[in-house]
Amino acid sequence: MIKVNNNFSKLQKNYLFAEISQKVADFTKINPDKKIIKLGIGDVTKPLVPAVIEAMHKAVEEMADEKTFKGYGPDYGYDFLINKIIECDYKSRGIDLKKDEIFVSDGAKSDTANITDIFSIDNKIAITDPVYPVYLDSNIMSGRTGEYNEFTKKYENVTYMKVIEENSFVPELPKEGVDIIYLCFPNNPTGTTLTKDDLKKWVDYAKQNNAVILYDSAYEAYITEENVPHSIYEVEGAREVAIEFRSFSKTAGFTGMRCGYTVVPKDLKIAIGSGEKIGINEFWARRQSTKFNGVSYVTQKAAEAVYSLEGQKQIKENINYYMENARIIKQGLEKAGYTVYGGINAPYIWLKVPKGLSSWEFFDKLLEEKNIVGTPGSGFGPSGEGYFRLTAFGSRENTIEAVKRLTQEM
Ligand code: MLT
């Protein structure tokens, strides 16, 4: 008799951003005349830069000509893109990577979820709290967690590492042994960062405990401060314990294009039974070649153009635009008396909700009274309760208008 994967019934009813969309759709239905400003999901609003558009046009022309047409591409990405990634994202920071350590994909969301395929179900995971919901949900689906506890608002068999005001948003090393550690810095949702010294402690911990770090650096392009690491591989020894995820979504406005990549170093080896070690690069390669058919040629040509001189200049302008939005939100809210974090090395502003309100109550109040959509902190985990996330990815006009509305008496 057919049986379902019952782990799905352990999940919260909706994916966080789907739940927000539903609430906004319900509100709009009853209030069609309200001008809603959406600063909820971290979706970009500026169009693709001209260098990318030009590269795509050329690629489309190639696809129209039988001499240059491309069918299936390489499973792990075209060399023209991988070489640029190695040169521009890593070599320029003193990190040496080989071509077969990079896997081009349709984005960091899928990769951070799919990577669970290559690890045993027995592994214990550690996530920061609050956290990007995909890491937890994908482990719930594959059965690596226990049941949800309504009282603690946590899943059993998961180590939650608080990232809160009281510890300056620096997670503490777990006291119990954990096997898979998810770190995302610059952090989604808090917008905070770790120093290289902080990261070194994690690399050392992973080495001592035979653990693996899954490092999501999707927001590295938004780093403005000098001492903030862009890649975990800036830390010595990280190649032996860390997988890194990158995305063109936020860096180059590819949320609707879908392209990212994952680095699985060959030095990352895991002990199996008899003390023998196995390289998990091969496992990921095998997984991808079976379950994924690569990113379209046109999209990879677009991604390649991000690394051209013009492309770099143009995406930098967009990043600066969003970071100016971040500054406007941060300063506006601070002036109005809010306690605000993030917004300096990340496009997210993490604010404390006014006393007496929960994160979801604040969400409802903002939607109903100010017609602004944000993301309730508790949607990212129990320690997010009492916080709220706004994104800097809106238009300048909407950002200014949102700050104006937010700073007026409620
Ligand atoms: C977010 O809002 O946290 C992100 O946009 C979600 C994502 O990148 O998938």
Decide if 100 contacts 122 (C-beta within 8 A). no
Residue 43 and residue 256: Cα distance in Å, rounded? Answer: 9
CA of 41 to the centre of ligand 1 (A): 6
Give nearest CA residue, ligand 1 atom 9: 109
Do 222 and 347 lie in a common domain? no
Domain count, the chain: 2
Do 275 and 297 lie in a common domain? yes
Do 267 and 385 lie in a common domain? no
CA of 188 to the centre of ligand 1 (A): 8
Decide if 120 contacts 143 (C-beta within 8 A). no
CA of 19 to the centre of ligand 1 (A): 14
Nearest ligand 1 atom, CA 255: 8
Decide if 210 contacts 239 (C-beta within 8 A). no
* Residue 167 identity: N
pLDDT of residue 273: 74
Do 78 and 36 lie in a common domain? no
Nearest ligand 1 atom, CA 249: 8
pLDDT of residue 135: 98
Domain boundary residue, one of 285, 309, 333: 309
Give nearest CA residue, ligand 1 atom 6: 42
**Of 20, 24, 38, 41, which is best to mutate to test ligand 1, by the most ligand atoms within 8 angstroms of its C-beta?**
41
Q: For the whole model, what pTM was predicted?
A: 0.96
Residue 393 and residue 325: Cα distance in Å, rounded? Answer: 8
Instruction: Tell me whether residue 317 is in a domain.
Output: yes
Instruction: Tell me whether residue 153 is in a domain.
Output: yes
CA of 106 to the centre of ligand 1 (A): 14
Do 37 and 66 lie in a common domain? no
Taking alpha carbons only, the member of 274, 247, 271 closest to residue 89 is: 247
CA of 368 to the centre of ligand 1 (A): 23
Question: For residue 341, how many other CB atoms are within 10 A of its CB?
Answer: 21
Nearest ligand 1 atom, CA 375: 2
Specify the CATH number for the domain of residue 327: 3.90.1150.10
Polymer length of the chain: 410
Taking alpha carbons only, the member of 218, 221, 153 closest to residue 376 is: 153
**Of 17, 20, 105, 111, which is best to mutate to test ligand 1, by the most ligand atoms within 8 angstroms of its C-beta?**
17
Do 216 and 109 lie in a common domain? yes
Q: Within its chain, how far is the Cα of 50 from the centroid?
A: 25
Nearest ligand 1 atom, CA 218: 8
**Of 188, 216, 373, which is best to mutate to test ligand 1, by the most ligand atoms within 8 angstroms of its C-beta?**
188
CA of 225 to the centre of ligand 1 (A): 23
CA of 135 to the centre of ligand 1 (A): 12
Domain boundary residue, one of 248, 276, 309: 309
Do 199 and 346 lie in a common domain? no
Instruction: Tell me whether residue 188 is in a domain.
Output: yes
Do 178 and 202 lie in a common domain? yes
Give nearest CA residue, ligand 1 atom 5: 42
Q: What is the DSSP secondary-structure string of 31-57?
A: -TT---EE-SS----SPPPHHHHHHHH
Do 82 and 165 lie in a common domain? yes
Do 207 and 133 lie in a common domain? yes
Decide if 338 contacts 116 (C-beta within 8 A). no
Question: For residue 397, how many other CB atoms are within 10 A of its CB?
Answer: 9
Nearest ligand 1 atom, CA 40: 2
All residue ranges of the chain with pLDDT < 70 are 410
Ligand 1 pocket, CB under 6 A: 41-43, 109, 132, 188
Give nearest CA residue, ligand 1 atom 3: 42
pLDDT of residue 250: 96
Two structure tokens written together for 297: 């040629």
The torsion angles phi and psi of 167, rounded to 5 degrees, stand at: -110, 25
Instruction: Tell me whether residue 17 is in a domain.
Output: yes
Specify the CATH number for the domain of residue 242: 3.40.640.10
Instruction: Tell me whether residue 225 is in a domain.
Output: yes
* DSSP 8-state class, residue 181: E
Instruction: Tell me whether residue 256 is in a domain.
Output: yes
CA of 391 to the centre of ligand 1 (A): 10
Instruction: Tell me whether residue 297 is in a domain.
Output: yes
Taking alpha carbons only, the member of 376, 366, 377 closest to residue 402 is: 366
Q: What is the DSSP secondary-structure string of 285-354?
A: HHHHHHH-----HHHHHHHHHHTSHHHHHHHHHHHHHHHHHHHHHHHHHHHTT--EEE-SSSSEEEEEPP
Two structure tokens written together for 127: 């996530």
* Distances from the Cα of 281 to the Cα of 101, 129, 285, 376, 392, angstroms: 7, 28, 6, 37, 35
Domain limits at 203? 53-309
CA of 42 to the centre of ligand 1 (A): 5
Give nearest CA residue, ligand 1 atom 4: 42
Domain boundary residue, one of 254, 281, 309: 309
Instruction: Tell me whether residue 1 is in a domain.
Output: no
pLDDT of residue 276: 87
Do 346 and 385 lie in a common domain? yes
Do 32 and 122 lie in a common domain? no
